[in-house]
Structure 1
C-alpha cells in the first residue's frame, strides 16, 4: 500500500479522541459538591473549603449544596442519581460511608461498590475527655474504675451509631471494660450533661470538642490516633496509655459515582492535592482540628475499605442496632 492509499484511508476513518483531550473536557460546566449534612458543621466547612480549592484550579465553579436527611444517606443517593461524569461529588464522612451501611442493611447503595474514592482530604482523631473538675485524671483511671465497678462508669455520645458511640465501644473492647453508653441528640447536649456531672467521659472527634478543651471546660486525657497527632503533639495516644490497638479517627474525603471517567477522578484528585499543599489551607485545617492528608485515589480506597471492614466488625461485636 503506497503513501497515497494510506492518506486516503486515514481521511476516511472517524477521528478518535485523544486521551489528553478527553481529560481537558472536564469539567465542562459547574461542579456540585453534595454535603449530606446541615450547614455550619465540620463536614459543611470542610466541603466548602474543598469547593474553593476546586474552583481555584478546575476552571469552573464548584458549588456546595447541602442535602440532608437519613444520617447522610439522602445526600449520598443524590450523587448516585446524577450522571457519572465527575460533575457531582459527595463530601464523604464515616457516617454515610462506613457506619450506616452496617446499621441499615436495606440502604439503597453500597459505598464500596457504588462510589469511587477520589481523595482523602483530612483526618481528625478521637479524643477522650472529662470535665475539668472530674476526679478521673487519666485513661488508666477510667480503666481501673471500670474494672473495679463494671457497668458504673458512663460515656456520652451524639447518638446511637455516631462516631463518639463507636469510639467508646472500641475503647470498651480494647481495654476490656464494661461501661454504659448514654446517647444524646447531638454533641452539644452530650457535652452539656458531662459538664453538669451527669456522665463521666466522652470519646469524641477532636474538632467537635476543641473549643471546650481550649476554654478549659473539658480536659483531654488521650488522643485516639495510632500515633501522636501533630494537632496536639503533647497529648499521649490511647496506646501509650495502655489501651492496645486503639485507633479511631473521623476522616473526610471526596467521592464520585462509580463509573466516572478516570480523567475526571484524576483532575479532582490533583486539584485537591495541590490545594492541600497551600500553606494558608494547611493553617486553616489545623486550626479546625483537621490533619491534611491527600494522596492517590487508590490510597483512599484502601483506607476506606479497611475502615469499612473494621467498623462492621465492631458494630457486630458490640451488638449495635439502629433501632
Structure 2
C-alpha cells in the first residue's frame, strides 16, 4: 500500500470514528421504566404490569414498573421529568393526573399538556351508579324522585374530593334537580362499604371496582354513565336511556413521556402498547376486571386529554372543590 492510499484509508477511518458517536441510538437502548402514581397491588398496577410483560417481548428490552404514589401524581410525574427525554421513562397515570388535578390543586407541580408528550390512552372503566343491594330504591327514577321529595335529601359517596365520581355526581345532581349531599372518602373501598350498608345512599364508581360486588348481590346497579352499555353489565341501561343525558364518563389511564422526546421513540412506544392492547388475551383479562382496552394514536390521545381538561375544569370550579 503506497503512502497516498494509506493516508486516504486513515482519513476514512477517522471520519467514521468521529461520526459514530453522533449517530442516534436505536430505541430502546436500555430497560424502560413505567412510573405509576399508584400503590402496588391495585387495579392500575395490575394493568401496568400486564402491559409491561407484553411490551418487553415486543421491544426486546426489560420493562420495569415503578410505583410512586402520593401528592395527586406529582411525585411520580417529577420522577419522570427528572429523567432524560429519550422515551425510556414513561408516566402511566389516570384521569385525575392528566385532566383534573391541575385545576383541583391550588398549587400543582406540572402541566400535563406542556410537560408531557402523549403516547396512547390505555384502558377505560365506565362509572356505574350503584345503591346497596337491599336499598328500597330499585330504579333510577325512584332515586331521582326520592332526592326531590325527601326532606333531608340523599347522600352520595365519592372516592375523594374532586374525584371523577364526585364531579360526575355533581353533574348528575344538576341535571336531575334533586337534593343530594356529598360524602368524600379516601378511595373506593371505604366508600363502597358505606354504600353497601346503607350509610350512604348511592355512588358513581368504576365498573372495575363494582362489577364483582354487583354480581355478588352486594350492590344494585341502576345505570351506567356511558354512551353505550358495557359488556360487563349488559343488562344495566345507560343514564341517557333513562332520560338523564350528558352524564357519562369513565376512569381512564394513559401513557405519556417527557416533552421533547423524539417522535420516533414516541411512535415506537405507541406501537408496542397498542399491540399489547389489541392482544385478545389481554383484552379478555381487562374485561374480566371491568376495564376496556382503549388504544389511540399520540395525536388522538393529545386531543382527548385537552378535551377532558376542558370538560372537568368548569365542574371543579362550580363545585368549589380545591386541595392545598
Relative to structure 1, is the Cα distance of residues 151 and 116 closer, same or farther in structure 2, using a 3 angstrom cutoff? Answer: farther
Q: Deviations over 1:171-211 (max 9, x none)?
A: 11232333100112222211221222211000011111122
Q: Deviations over 1:12-32 (max 9, x none)?
A: 8985999xx85x710100000
Distance 2:175 2:262 in 1: 42
Residues 168 and 247, structure 2, Cα contact 8 Å, conserved in 1: no
- Give the 3-state SS of the residue equivalent to 1:111 in structure 2: coil
Residues 36 and 45, structure 2, Cα contact 8 Å, conserved in 1: yes
Does 2:125 align with 1:128? no
Distance 1:231 1:113 in 2: 36
- Give the 3-state SS of the residue equivalent to 2:286 in structure 1: helix
Q: Deviations over 1:125-145 (max 9, x none)?
A: 000001111111111122111
Distance 1:222 1:36 in 2: 30
Q: What residue number does 2:188 align with?
A: 187
Which contiguous aligned blocks of 4+ residues in structure 1 show a shift greater than 6 angstroms? 11-14
Deviates more, 1:265-274 or 1:70-79: 70-79
- Which structure would you say has the larger Rg? 2
Distance 1:118 1:194 in 2: 37
Residues 211 and 233, structure 2, Cα contact 8 Å, conserved in 1: no
Unpaired segments ≥5 residues, structure 1? 1-10
Q: What residue number does 1:41 align with?
A: 42
Q: What residue number does 1:224 align with?
A: 225
Deviates more, 1:50-59 or 1:226-235: 226-235
Residues 175 and 244, structure 1, Cα contact 8 Å, conserved in 2: no
- Give the 3-state SS of the residue equivalent to 2:114 in structure 1: helix
Report the alpha carbon displacement of residue 151 of structure 1 after superposing the two structures with TM: 5.3
Relative to structure 1, is the Cα distance of residues 176 and 53 closer, same or farther in structure 2, using a 3 angstrom cutoff? Answer: farther
Residues 35 and 65, structure 2, Cα contact 8 Å, conserved in 1: yes
- Give the 3-state SS of the residue equivalent to 2:101 in structure 1: helix
Root-mean-square deviation (CA, aligned residues, Å) is 2.3
- Aligned pair count reads 313
Deviates more, 1:156-165 or 1:115-124: 156-165
